[in-house]
Structure 1
Amino acid sequence: MEETEIKQTWQQKLLFYTTAFFVLLGIFSLFSFLFLVPFVIDPAFTTIFMEFDEEAAFCVTSRIDRRLGASNCSWTSCREGCTKDIYDCTQIFVNYKILSNHTNTSLSISRPTTTAVAFPYEEEDILEEEDYNNNEDSEWDFVEAKLLPNVKGCGYPPMLNCTNFLKSYKELGTNFSCYYSRIKPSMVISHLDMWQVYMNLVYAMAIPIPSFIISVIYLTIAYFKIYKEDEDEAPLKKNAEAIDMEGESAFREDLASFGHHFKVAMVDEISRDSLVDGVINNSVSIGGNIAAKTMTTSISTTGGPVADI
């Protein structure tokens, strides 16, 4: 028996393509969110929590260290690739001065006349707050701060080119605008755009997260409502079709049985009619013969008045 091809209605096709769309949307939104967490979301939150002063300070490059080996490179001023292991690092230290009343100062001034105090590398992170507070009478508000391009100190071309970054800031006495952290004054970044930071955070979270939530809600409703109802209605339809087929088959069987019984009845009726006609004819013929014989016998054997008649 050949299987008949079931044609889908336009509602079923629409439901299929809608479900496929939301499945793909959920998958892509989830993977995009996981991709954006280390590259956009985490740096944006860290930049906000570090509370960088949006008013630029005045920075001057005070020391450059070039180190080799993973054990010696606990940090680097610029790293192309945030997950890349560091074996060759260039560490740039700067002195910065917070501009009084946030007034602008020309960055084309000459190299400072005072010599910055250089701490040993092992002690560079010790007493950072004391160094910051005890420089009130000094030319600098903080000495030997770590210079980074951003809060993570890493990025990818073309947004961040470490070669160009190092060329711009590695020369001793280079002066430029910088932004220091109120939470960690030993950290200084060369570029800061808080509006762009907030926008990146909004874009990275406002698009993938709602898309994923909407996809999950639709797929849940589709599974427990739409497809579940179709599955529940399918046996009923099958049973109805089976009942219709059984009823039709039973009707055909009853019709065939009726025809058979009708034929048998007709044959029986014809047989009975033939039998009755035969009996009647036989009875008539037998009765006539008997009467003839009786009459003949009566005439030939009896005498007297009967014979005269």
Structure 2
Amino acid sequence: MGDEIIEEQNWKQKLLFYITAFFVLLGIFSLFSFLFLVPFVIDPAFTTIFMEFDEKPAFCVTVKIQRLLGASNCSWTSCREGCTKDIYDCTQIFVTYKILPNDTYANTSLSWSTMATVESPFARHEKALLDDYDYESETFTGLQPNTSEWHYREARLLPNVKGCGYPPSLNCSNWLKNYTTVGTNFSCYYSKIDPGLVMSDLNMIQVYMNLVYAMCIPIPSFIVSVIYLAIAYFKIYTDDEEAAPLEKNAEDIDVEGENEINQTPVPPASGGITPGSEAFREDLASFGHHFKVAMVDDISRDSLVDGVINSVSMGGSIGKTMTTSISTTGGPVADI
């Protein structure tokens, strides 16, 4: 019975240990993964949403390329390998874009490569713009007046809202090759909040999904881990620590009871004898017996001496006296 209880306790303790270790690791990995995702996924996703990029593509033309060296000259770059990398060599791409009417998108695709092969009205309009547009005719940059054919001149072109590329999904070297030729035309997406910011690619569904994955998995996992660890610390382990001494005392009492049943009783030490105890009465009776024996010995010696004296004076009566003295005593002399 005792072995079964011990085995059950050991099984429960092991299970509790593994569950606690799992939630500790889950909380640690959730926290670090969330901290890792903040600069790479969460912040770019929120920025993309807040900048309110128009999901309808605009018509962009590369009009200016700048390559600068030095950290002081590179305040921004069109594409860099990682957002945490310091910028010492930057390539800045400026584009001019035009917002096309809504009916233009009816028979066109979002890919300019498709437009180049399909003779749509949009593609013919694009070719006419490339042939007739004079890139140096505009005298100022930024938002153009309503009379201008273009909406914005020399906007910054980025692959995404942060301008960061992470191979293999985005290789900045390959991306720059596609857009660093003056006169290159392509579809782009401008920001309604900052019209001077243009992206070459936009997928709002993917942006929302990345945000959901980055927040709805690490944060709830961390919260659940913290709640379990708090309950385990203040409730489970506290109850176990309080119950452990009681169980140990109960086992000790059971063991002592079994030992008392199997062993013969041993009289307690004299220091623990009370006047009403059985041991005290036994000791008292034994003491009285020895005291009587001692008194009889003393009386026998005195009688023996008197008997000898009387036998000398009376002559011939010593045998009777000795016989009387020996027969009347109950001590050791009588035994002799």
Structures share fold, TM-score greater than 0.5: yes
Aligned residue for 1:192, secondary structure, equals coil
Q: What is the alpha-carbon distance in structure 2 between the residues aligned to residue 188 and residue 69 of structure 1?
A: 24
Letter aligned with residue 132 of structure 2 = T
Counterparts of residues 60-209 of structure 1 (less than 5 Å)? 60-101=61-102, 103-104=104-105, 105-106=122-123, 109=127, 111-116=130-135, 128=142, 131-132=143-144, 134=145, 136-209=146-219
The RMSD of aligned alpha carbons is: 4.1
Aligned residue for 2:183, secondary structure, equals coil
Instruction: Output one character per residue of 1:104-134: Cα deviation in whole Å (capped at 9) or x when no partner.
Output: 32286263422235999xx97xxx4xx24x2
User: Post-superposition shift, 1:252?
Assistant: 9.1
Letter aligned with residue 212 of structure 1 = F
Q: Which segments of 5 or more consecutive residues in structure 1 lack a partner in the other structure?
A: 1-5, 291-309
Match of 2:240 among 200, 215, 230: 230
Q: Which segments of 5 or more consecutive residues in structure 2 lack a partner in the other structure?
A: 1-5, 106-121, 271-277, 301-319, 325-336
The count of residues paired between Structure 1 and Structure 2 equals 272
Letter aligned with residue 159 of structure 2 = P
Alpha-carbon spacing, 1:62–1:54, altered in 2? closer, same or farther (3 Å): same
Q: What is the alpha-carbon distance in structure 2 between the residues aligned to residue 257 and residue 251 of structure 1?
A: 15
User: Post-superposition shift, 1:12?
Assistant: 1.2
Percent identical pairs in the alignment equals: 64
Aligned residue for 1:256, secondary structure, equals coil
User: Post-superposition shift, 1:232?
Assistant: 1.7
User: Post-superposition shift, 1:236?
Assistant: 2.8
Letter aligned with residue 100 of structure 2 = L
Alpha-carbon spacing, 1:102–1:157, altered in 2? closer, same or farther (3 Å): farther
Contact 1:66 1:90 in 2 (8 A): yes
1:30 matched residue in structure 2? 31
Alpha-carbon spacing, 1:117–1:230, altered in 2? closer, same or farther (3 Å): farther
Provide TM-score, normalisation by structure 2: 0.69
1:43 matched residue in structure 2? 44
Q: What is the alpha-carbon distance in structure 1 between the residues aligned to residue 204 and residue 127 of structure 2?
A: 28
Aligned residue for 1:9, secondary structure, equals helix
Bigger CA drift: 253-262 or 80-89? Answer: 253-262
Letter aligned with residue 81 of structure 1 = G
Instruction: Output one character per residue of 1:45-76: Cα deviation in whole Å (capped at 9) or x when no partner.
Output: 00000000000000000010111111110000
Instruction: Output one character per residue of 1:213-270: Cα deviation in whole Å (capped at 9) or x when no partner.
Output: 00000000111110011112223334445556677788899922269998x969x88x
Alpha-carbon spacing, 1:205–1:251, altered in 2? closer, same or farther (3 Å): same
2:317 matched residue in structure 1? none
Q: What is the alpha-carbon distance in structure 1 between the residues aligned to residue 91 and residue 85 of structure 2?
A: 15
User: Post-superposition shift, 1:11?
Assistant: 1.3
Q: What is the alpha-carbon distance in structure 1 between the residues aligned to residue 190 and residue 178 of structure 2?
A: 18
Instruction: Output one character per residue of 1:249-296: Cα deviation in whole Å (capped at 9) or x when no partner.
Output: 88899922269998x969x88x96xx99xx9xx9xxx99x66xxxxxx
Alpha-carbon spacing, 1:61–1:41, altered in 2? closer, same or farther (3 Å): same
Contact 1:91 1:146 in 2 (8 A): yes
Aligned residue for 1:26, secondary structure, equals helix
Provide TM-score, normalisation by structure 1: 0.75
Contact 1:112 1:173 in 2 (8 A): no
Q: What is the alpha-carbon distance in structure 2 between the residues aligned to residue 247 and residue 201 of structure 1?
A: 67
Counterparts of residues 209-288 of structure 1 (less than 5 Å)? 209-241=219-251, 255-257=265-267
User: Post-superposition shift, 1:18?
Assistant: 0.4
Contact 1:118 1:144 in 2 (8 A): no
Q: Name which structure has the greater RCO, CA cutoff 8 Å, separation 6+.
A: 1
Q: What is the alpha-carbon distance in structure 1 between the residues aligned to residue 248 and residue 206 of structure 2?
A: 60
Contact 1:178 1:191 in 2 (8 A): yes
User: Post-superposition shift, 1:207?
Assistant: 0.4
Aligned residue for 1:59, secondary structure, equals strand
User: Post-superposition shift, 1:103?
Assistant: 1.6
Aligned residue for 2:175, secondary structure, equals helix
